[in-house]
Amino acid sequence: MQVNWREITAAKNSFAALYAACETEGYALRPVKEPEGDVTCYSLNSINAPAFMEEIANAPCTTIVGGPHATACPMEMAAYADYVVVGEGEYTLPRLLRAIENRTPGPVPGVATREGLCPQDHAVFLPAYPPFSQFKGYIEISRGCPHGCAYCQTPNLFGRRMRHRPVDEIARAAAHFRDARFVTPNALAYGSDGIRPRPEKIEALFRALHRNEIYFGTFPSEVRPEFVTGEVLDLITTYCANRRLQFGAQSGSDRVLTMLRRGHTVADVEQALDLCRDAGLTPVVDFIVGLPCEEEEDERATLSLVHEVTRRGRAHVHLFTPLPGTPMAGMKARDLLPETQRDLGRLALAGKISGSWNDPERRFYRNR
């Protein structure tokens, strides 16, 4: 059975991981630019999904769709695709391919069809799967997040319990590269339950990667502000090559942070800024503007914090995007105050901020 993978830039890391998982089960996913062969697989996010609906519906082959959007809206996607993989795919996708090849009747756990959704019967044991094989990607060191930020699809996709890849397996994967870069919901939570940091686990990881240039706490392994302590910054400045640290503030208003269920305060962000300065690291701080739960005073507080950040480092600013499957699904972004638009424009021209506060598609939807 010829199984293809639809090339989509935003899904490169998913391809690397799923190629490796399917390969061990005897399926080699062939990258294609349009659906063909016996089966073509897609991984879609909620921004690029609409652009592929027609292609999937008219595909001349069996189609399988997974990824954050498929997990958030399985029955919507089942109207277009033959099969929808809900949640993580390392175990489910090969299992589904085997069922298709063997023409095994009956529902497959973790898969939706037009007939309905068969619930998942497992959680992926991360050490059981390599992060990549022939097609390389970033090394996924942790999966799952105990924080339920109201705008975020990650807990829906990967669950709220953190799972970690063992140090020796990370080192084995990192041996393919000079630079070691990682995927994780919070790099500073490595080895922990995602609530209480375990600096000794981070140091053990760094020691095992002594042959690499380590980039830790920069895209795509940003951190949470309350995990930033003097101790972990010492580790980063001792072992790592990056001289920046990227973390999420999202809002300058404690009222809004509570509504977003972020689990940290503005004071945590300010402390992280101070600690970065003391450690000689440049902070890069993420913000969301246009949040529907904001009042004007909250937006002004965020703008004030953006200014404070840009005096010490850089800010990464994005317009709120209502993602399906999250508590904020279906909500509409607020129009920004004129002063916010003006100041963000000036800071962008001065090279102090990046991002997209007018067009959320630019954030996720690059080159399809």
Interacting residues toward ligand SF4 by CB under 6 A: 145, 147-149, 152, 154-155, 185-186, 224
Q: What is the dihedral of CA 262, 264, 269, 274, to 10 degrees?
A: -150
Nearest distance, CB of residue 221 and ligand SF4, angstroms = 11
- Nearer CB in complex with ligand SF4: 43/62: 43
Nearest distance, CB of residue 26 and ligand SF4, angstroms = 33
Q: What is the amino acid identity at position 89?
A: G
Nearest distance, CB of residue 191 and ligand SF4, angstroms = 16
Nearest distance, CB of residue 224 and ligand SF4, angstroms = 6
- Nearer CB in complex with ligand SF4: 70/288: 288
The Cα–Cα gap between 24 and 292 comes to 45
- Nearer CB in complex with ligand SF4: 225/313: 225
- Nearer CB in complex with ligand SF4: 184/212: 184
- Nearer CB in complex with ligand SF4: 123/241: 123
- Nearer CB in complex with ligand SF4: 82/286: 286
The Cα–Cα gap between 160 and 147 comes to 7
Report how far apart, in Å, the C-alpha atoms of 289 and of each of 55, 161, 262 are. 33, 28, 15
CB 111 within 8 A of CB 85: yes
81-99 b/e (C-beta count within 10 Å ≥ 16 → b): bbbbbbbbbbbbbbbbbeb
Alpha helices in the chain (DSSP H): 12-23, 49-57, 68-72, 74-78, 92-101, 154-158, 167-174, 199-208, 230-239, 254-259, 266-279, 296-312, 338-349, 361-364
Nearest distance, CB of residue 194 and ligand SF4, angstroms = 8
Nearest distance, CB of residue 41 and ligand SF4, angstroms = 25
Beta bridge mates, 112: 84, 117
